[in-house]
Structure 1
Amino acid sequence: MALNIETFQSICPSQFISFTIPHPTCSDSLLRVAVLDSPVQPTDSPKVAAMLVPEARESDWIFSTELGHFQLLFSSPGVSRLILIGNQFKEGDFPPPIYIRPIECSSHHKELEIWSKSLLLSLSPKSLFKNGIPDIPILTYEDNVVSSVVINKCIGSLVGEMLVEDVEIESENEVNGDHRKEFRRRLRFKRMPNLVQTEIRIVPDTDVNTNGVVGIGEVAFVPDLRVLVHPYLAPMVAGLSLISEYIEGRIQLGFRPKALCVGVGGGALLSFLRNQLDLEVMGVDADKEVLRVAKHYFGLEDGEFIHVTVGDAIKFMKKLACQVNCNTSAVSELEASCLLDGEDVSKKFDVIMVDLDSSDARTGISAPPLEFVKKHVLLAAKLLLSEFGILAINVILPSRSFYCKLVLHFQQVFEDLYRIEVGNGENFVLVATVSSHVSLVGDCSNSFLMRLKMVIPEAYINSITKI
């Protein structure tokens, strides 16, 4: 069906149109053109921008789906219409062979950039020409991926399509003047293609003969769970410094500290808490397939000191709170009749770590979900915590008003509230305490605090501030 050029003469909120045209420099190929209008109408004259899809990444969900296009649009502030141009791909091209970033832009790519200028003008709204012929910027997509390969693609009952990929990323690490490669394993969901859900460090399998060749797709890799590489996880763990004296006392009495992780993903946080800090960890995630992927590809072990379960996080916490506190008057607010069968809940948790978000490519990302910060949910979390327990939660703000409500709701339930900066301009961590008897300064004789400082950057501990 032929396109009507008038379709593009005005901005239509959230309108998405994709089509193919003959490739100007390759007679036997096609170009895919995708046009997306922002959900928000511009207050003045619209701004149009374009992006050429990186070569060999045309089938990546980031560039090949409407949801990926939305994320690219939201990462380009002020743009009313984003136009993507790239080589046409077939559905069977996914997952692609090993991707290796070109050293420099090819001549075909440069020719395409020159040729596309007239096409971009024809796809721009009339209002853009009020002051003459506009100059439409061509944006460059940049990330830290040097090479990548998809090692699994599957479907979860709740999260939908997801993929596991091994990547080599840019690294400034050098040993004796030699550049050290950095390898990661990532979990991504199709519904938010440009968001890395889980990321862990991987290293070449020592049982495999590499013949001196180490690269993505060339050798087998295994998880290295000693370091947290996802940006906000180390700051969440840093919150433990607030109760390090309490945890040290528990350890001295022969007790193993307990953690509840709400939202498991690839399980990097659970594995770290168990392996590096000797905590007993329980994790809950709503999608069974995500947990299978975590165990098979991300090194998560369900054993004596790590327990994972499938379920809705909020319902799970409320039921567990009822079970733990079945003899307390506060349970009346939590539907005391809903008890868990067969769960060992004889002890409360010393820390609850929450990694949940509301992910919608059309509206952006916010964390935690709005339903999590309701009073009855926060009360359930408090009832699950020990006398000096803490709740650490990853936060991504959709608005300033959301932050004010978030702080208010936490302060209504918990004693004190602390903030830890992640440093990426997007996330920060809130730490809520059951008791006001916590300390920002630890005793140098506290072996747990010393161990904590050895496995996470001390800068996060030093950045903790009280709200």
Structure 2
Amino acid sequence: MAFHPVTFETLVPSRYITFTLPDPSASPHLRTAPLLRVAVLDSPIQPTTPRVAAILVPTNRETDWIFSTEPGHLQLLLTSPQTSRLILLGDLPSSPNPTPSFTRPCSADSTDRQHKLTPLLIALSPRSCFAKGLPKILFLDYEDDVVNSVIVDRRTGPIVGELLVEDVEIEGDDGVREFRRRLRFKRMPNFIQSQIRILPNGNCGGDDDCSGRRDFGGSVGVGFRLDTGVLVHPYLEPMVAGVSLIGSYLDEQIRGGLRPKALCLGVGGGALIEFLSEKLGFEVVGVEADEVVLRVAKQHFGLKDRESTRLCVCDGIAMMIDGFDTKFDIIMVDLDSSDARTGISAPPLEFVGESVLRAASLVLRDQGILVINVIPPSQSFYEVLIHELREVFNELYEINVGNMDNFVLVGTVSPIKPAINECENSFLKKLKSGIAESYMEYIRKI
């Protein structure tokens, strides 16, 4: 593709351009230089001082949504808020259908490649960056915890669009590795919608809980079984910890022969529903807007149809406003914004309103609670949400997830009563055996 010489001289908010050219960093001994894919995105909100940043796409991840789509590029840019223009440079896949697997390459010094690509980056810099001479290009590093990955399934849902199921081997900060199954939506490429732990099982055979046999991490034919007994997604344990606020009330209900009821808005892979139903004994209604997501949750994440679980395909917010023929002890809200331009945020803006929150309070029992996963796009969003919750609910609690992104807010219909005979509370014992007790200690009234 040919460009006019002045194409990149000016900053145009939200402009996104991709093109290919022979890789100037390739070895001069090659008969034909491989093609380099270049993607240029100007920030929607321009900082006062212009700055250009660049990312070298990790080898073998060129087709990953975070590196190959405009929403993915935008998410990378939003992590560097003082950047005026972000430029991604990556190898062009040699095949139109590249292998759906990734293995982290050995660490290598990229300084030489950065040096060879700098003249290209300077040529792609806006004129405003040359006020004090040649601009200095900032190279950003992209790192995550994925060591190996393999794509399990791709689907397209009428609401969420293209989605991806992948098995990954991850490495924690302590160097410990484990396997996860993840669900991601293309509209939010770098956001993991749901994940569960999977365990290698060499004797998988006809085990109903086995995820199948795949080439993964260099091991051919290794089987995996799903472990739905633990919550590994970062904010799910804190959400469940919020239930401890009404632990005494729930224990009384259970002792009286009543099964507590939960409404889950947003199903994802179904890990939260499975945990509430199987581990804590709740009767659960799960509401998901996209039927394809539900099918994927059942096929790949172990979500089961059972007497204690009812799954509905509809708009959760609209369904709650219309009301239910039953009342719930807890409502769990795990809904994110579908607009990639705002970055990753939750809950959606339409949820933050008195009419919706009041509808939630009306389908809760007198001792019920509303638990919301919150990823605030801004401080003002968070403050408005807290204000609206205070207008409707009696008390408000906050749980810091500890990852600098998520918070969990809990609104109560009635004042929380002090726990009595907590050591004899069977429900709380069961709860503490399933999640980290520290999250209960993080709960604070606000």
Q: Is the 8 A contact 1:163 1:189 kept in 2?
A: yes
Q: Which moved more, 1:420-429 or 1:1-10?
A: 1-10
TM-aligned CA distance change 1:91 to 1:374, over 3 Å: farther
Rounded to whole Å, the distance in 1 between the matches of 2:2 and 2:43 is 24
Rounded to whole Å, the distance in 2 between the matches of 1:320 and 1:354 is 16
Q: Is the 8 A contact 1:395 1:427 kept in 2?
A: yes
TM-aligned CA distance change 1:206 to 1:253, over 3 Å: farther
Q: Is the 8 A contact 1:51 1:85 kept in 2?
A: yes
3-state DSSP of counterpart to 2:344: strand
Name the residue aligned to 2:249. Answer: 246
Q: Deviations over 1:153-197 (max 9, x none)?
A: 010001100110000000367xxxxx7530001111111111111
Name the residue aligned to 2:40. Answer: 35
Name the residue aligned to 2:365. Answer: 386
Rounded to whole Å, the distance in 1 between the matches of 2:243 and 2:297 is 24
Q: CA deviation at 1:91?
A: 7.8
Name the residue aligned to 1:15. Answer: 15
Q: Where do residues 54-73 of structure 1 align in structure 2 (5 Å cutoff)?
A: 54-73=58-77
Is the counterpart of residue 164 in structure 1 residue 159 in structure 2? no
Q: Is the 8 A contact 1:47 1:80 kept in 2?
A: yes
Q: Deviations over 1:47-101 (max 9, x none)?
A: 110010000100111111111111110111211100111111268335x342110
TM-aligned CA distance change 1:440 to 1:355, over 3 Å: farther
Q: CA deviation at 1:440?
A: 6.9
Q: Where do residues 47-446 of structure 1 align in structure 2 (5 Å cutoff)?
A: 47-89=51-93, 92-93=96-97, 96-105=99-108, 110-171=111-172, 181-205=177-201, 207-208=203-204, 215=217, 218=220, 219-321=222-324, 324=325, 345=326, 348-439=327-418, 443-446=422-425
3-state DSSP of counterpart to 1:192: coil
Rounded to whole Å, the distance in 2 between the matches of 1:369 and 1:6 is 39
Rounded to whole Å, the distance in 1 between the matches of 2:238 and 2:420 is 16
Q: CA deviation at 1:413?
A: 1.3
3-state DSSP of counterpart to 2:135: coil
Rounded to whole Å, the distance in 1 between the matches of 2:188 and 2:288 is 18
Q: Deviations over 1:88-116 (max 9, x none)?
A: 1268335x34211012227xx55432210
Q: CA deviation at 1:5?
A: 2.8
Q: Is the 8 A contact 1:156 1:289 kept in 2?
A: yes
Q: Is the 8 A contact 2:150 2:216 kept in 1?
A: no
Counterpart among 44, 50, 62 of residue 46 in structure 1: 50
Q: CA deviation at 1:466?
A: 0.8
Q: Is the 8 A contact 1:167 1:216 kept in 2?
A: no
3-state DSSP of counterpart to 2:96: helix
3-state DSSP of counterpart to 2:198: strand
Rounded to whole Å, the distance in 1 between the matches of 2:418 and 2:59 is 52
TM-aligned CA distance change 1:91 to 1:435, over 3 Å: farther
Identity among equivalent positions (%) equals 55
Rounded to whole Å, the distance in 1 between the matches of 2:84 and 2:163 is 29
Q: Deviations over 1:107-142 (max 9, x none)?
A: xx5543221010010000111111122221211110
3-state DSSP of counterpart to 1:424: coil
3-state DSSP of counterpart to 1:6: coil
TM-aligned CA distance change 1:205 to 1:119, over 3 Å: same
3-state DSSP of counterpart to 1:362: helix
Q: Which moved more, 1:454-463 or 1:199-208?
A: 199-208
Q: Deviations over 1:17-60 (max 9, x none)?
A: 111001232525200011100001222x2011001000010011
TM-aligned CA distance change 1:407 to 1:155, over 3 Å: same
Q: CA deviation at 1:359?
A: 3.4
What is the TM-score when the length of structure 2 is the normalising length? 0.92
Computed over aligned residues only, the root mean square deviation of the Cα atoms, in angstroms, reads 2.1
Q: Deviations over 1:196-251 (max 9, x none)?
A: 1111111123533899x984763122210111111111111011110000000011
Q: Is the 8 A contact 1:35 1:82 kept in 2?
A: yes
3-state DSSP of counterpart to 1:461: helix
Rounded to whole Å, the distance in 1 between the matches of 2:82 and 2:200 is 43
Rounded to whole Å, the distance in 1 between the matches of 2:68 and 2:44 is 19
Rounded to whole Å, the distance in 1 between the matches of 2:122 and 2:416 is 64
Q: CA deviation at 1:442?
A: 6.9
Rounded to whole Å, the distance in 2 between the matches of 1:132 and 1:408 is 49
3-state DSSP of counterpart to 2:75: helix
Name the residue aligned to 2:209. Answer: none
Q: CA deviation at 1:256?
A: 1.1
Q: Is the 8 A contact 1:235 1:422 kept in 2?
A: yes
TM-aligned CA distance change 1:419 to 1:91, over 3 Å: farther
Q: Deviations over 1:404-451 (max 9, x none)?
A: 221221111111111111001011001011111333787111111122
Rounded to whole Å, the distance in 2 between the matches of 1:10 and 1:77 is 19
Any runs of at least 4 consecutive aligned residues in structure 1 with deviations exceeding 4 A, and if so which?
A: none
Q: Is the 8 A contact 1:21 1:32 kept in 2?
A: yes
TM-aligned CA distance change 1:440 to 1:404, over 3 Å: farther
Q: CA deviation at 1:360?
A: 2.5
